[in-house]
Amino acid sequence: MLEEARSDLLRAARAARRRLFLSATADAYLRAAPGGLIVAAAVAAADLRWGQGTWVGPAAALGIAVPAVIALVYGVLHLAGVFQAATALDHRGGLKDRVASALEFMRSPLPDGPHRAQIVDAADHARSVRARSVIRLASPRRAVGVAAGCALLLLSLLTPPRSPEPASAEPASTVHAAQLEELRALREALEMQTDDPDETMQAALERLKALEERVAAGDTEPRDALIELARLEEALQAGAARLGAEALEQELDTVAPHWMAAEATRPAAMAVREGDLQAAAERMRAVASEMREGRLSAASAEQAAGQMRIAAGKIGDRSGSRDSFAADLQQAAEALTQGDADAMAQAGEGVGEKLERVAGARRFREMSRRVAAGRTAMGQAGRRRETASAARDGAPGSSRDAGSADGQGQDADGRGDLRADGRHGEGGGQGGLEAGTGAGGDPFGDPRRLEESLRRIIEVAGAMGQGPVESRVESTEGSLSDSEVDVRDVVGDYAAVAEEAIAQEHIPLSHRFHVKRYFEQIRPPG
């Protein structure tokens, strides 16, 4: 009977011990699980929203498993001994220290009467108590947290992915590639065009190469690349201005016809017409050699001298100015008249040097124009598709749409000027009276755009055969123009006056552009 009592007491204590372990583990899980589930839900939601959704499963599994492991570890660490389990059974089962006392009394191999009575009594009471009934698992209230965590985890699975970019927007990689392509084309065009040893030109080319490398490496944002191109453009324009060839170029329009009129200087004039100013300079230097070698006839020399005097007279008295052909032409006329080859050589050298300066300035301007065109192309590559589409249609878009990709604001007149390529103005100015103060952008735009726009206007004006056509043929005897001034002179004079007016008056940038482009368009070739 005593042995049976011992066995029952030990069984009861062990059952209580197991129950305590389960209770502690369950309690720890109910405490830890809500946190784990919430974290799992957050990870799953984030992954579904911004990721690929590959972490949803592992996050859910970890959210459930990690609290379980923590609970198990907690349960093991807090595993009660048999005696502690017995006291817990006594306390929760109302056994009043019977089992715990009996376990102690059982250590004696031969307990006396009172101890035996106590052991048997404790066993009787322990049999009447079930550990499962008295040692309950954690409060159901804590299970609410787990249920809430599970619900949150399930709800997180419904997280929609992030909205895709608007269909009209090109992927960033495409824009980047397009801009890079534009930049590369610009660099190759400039490399092919120029072999100028000028430091400014070479430095500009190096800057362009460096910019291309940075863009290719992704170290430079498209906006920064546009700004860098604008600076490069300014540097090239400054290089052209540094040569001080603007006045010389205007004078060349006056001088070239007279060179054309004289046999001795006609090759140089032909070279000027063809735009090969370097060759023109060589031809002018060669006049002195011909003169020295006797290959220049007196009539030709006199003819050339006369024309040069006229040209010098048209230019005016700007003797002593480094930026004028007048002194050289005057000196050349005197040398030709007097047959002084040395003086002619000196004058020819002076003219040649000035022609080379004009040639250099033209190269700078051409590079600047190409850079501006490249920058425009880069900006357009990054523009929104719908804006580009509207511009291609030639519609007079709103001023809001007229801004360039680099976001430099409205057009001056707020209407958007039509570009030759059908796009709205890309000018980087701030518009209005302060136009042209912006750091970037092409204040003049593409010089060919009026050609294109003119062509388009003509195209949309109507088709042949539509509507009444009235024609009339008048036959007159005709007469030559009574004007004795060459159109090139007129153009040159008025262009110079217009430039001067533009420089002095406060004229909006877009209007300046039209004036300047007007004279460029009517300038006769050569």
Partner 1 sequence: MATAQRTFEDEAREFVGLFRAVQAEIAKVIVGQAEVVEHVLTGLFGGGHVLLEGVPGIGKTLLVHTLAEAITCRFARIQFTPDLMPSDIIGTRVVSEDAQGRKRFTFQEGPVFTQVLLADEINRATPKTQSALLEAMQERSVTVAGETHTLEPPFFVIATQNPLEMEGTYPLPEAQLDRFFFKLNVGSPSLDELLEVSRRTTVRAMPKAASAATAEAVARHGGTVRDVPIASHVERYAASILMSTHPESDRATPLVRQYVRYGASPRGLQAMVVGAKVRALLDGRYNVAEEDIRSVAHAALRHRLLLNFEGEAEEIAPDRIIDEALQLAPTEAA
Residues that bind partner 1 (CB under 8 A): 1, 20, 80, 83-84, 87-88, 90-91, 96-98, 100-102, 104-105, 112-118, 120-122
Compute φ and ψ for 451, nearest 5 degrees. -60, -45
- Min CB(94)–partner 1 separation in Å: 10
> 293 is written with which tokens?
């070698």
374-377 contacts at long range (C-beta below 8 A, 24 or more positions apart): 374/182, 374/183, 374/185, 374/186, 374/189, 374/229, 375/226, 375/229, 375/230, 375/233, 375/440, 375/441, 375/442, 376/404, 376/426, 376/442, 376/445, 376/446, 377/182, 377/186
Candidates 424, 389, 391, 393; CA nearest to 409 is 424
Output 139 or 389, the one with its CB closest to partner 1.
Answer: 139
Helices (H) and strands (E) in the chain, counts: 20, 0
Candidates 319, 257, 303, 258; CA nearest to 523 is 257
Please say whether the beta carbons of 23 and 135 come within 8 A.
yes
Task: Enumerate residues 6+ apart whose C-beta is below 8 A from 2.
Answer: 111, 116, 119, 120
Amino acid at site 438 = G
Output 118 or 250, the one with its CB closest to partner 1.
Answer: 118
Output 20 or 315, the one with its CB closest to partner 1.
Answer: 20
323-326 contacts at long range (C-beta below 8 A, 24 or more positions apart): 323/244, 323/245, 323/246, 323/247, 323/248, 323/354, 324/247, 324/248, 324/251, 325/248, 325/251, 325/252, 325/255, 325/351, 325/354, 326/251
Task: Enumerate residues 6+ apart whose C-beta is below 8 A from 231.
Answer: 439
Output 19 or 309, the one with its CB closest to partner 1.
Answer: 19
- Min CB(111)–partner 1 separation in Å: 9
- Min CB(12)–partner 1 separation in Å: 15
Output 83 or 518, the one with its CB closest to partner 1.
Answer: 83
- Min CB(23)–partner 1 separation in Å: 10
- Min CB(79)–partner 1 separation in Å: 12
Output 17 or 283, the one with its CB closest to partner 1.
Answer: 17
Candidates 407, 406, 405, 445; CA nearest to 425 is 445
- Min CB(46)–partner 1 separation in Å: 42
Output 88 or 381, the one with its CB closest to partner 1.
Answer: 88
CA torsion angle for 151, 156, 160, 165 (degrees, to 10)? Answer: 160
Output 120 or 286, the one with its CB closest to partner 1.
Answer: 120
Alpha helices in 51-112 (DSSP H): 56-77, 82-93, 98-105
- Min CB(126)–partner 1 separation in Å: 13
> 120 is written with which tokens?
């048997």
Please say whether the beta carbons of 509 and 412 come within 8 A.
yes
Output 138 or 270, the one with its CB closest to partner 1.
Answer: 138
Output 123 or 262, the one with its CB closest to partner 1.
Answer: 123
- Min CB(96)–partner 1 separation in Å: 4
- Min CB(164)–partner 1 separation in Å: 59
- Min CB(4)–partner 1 separation in Å: 13
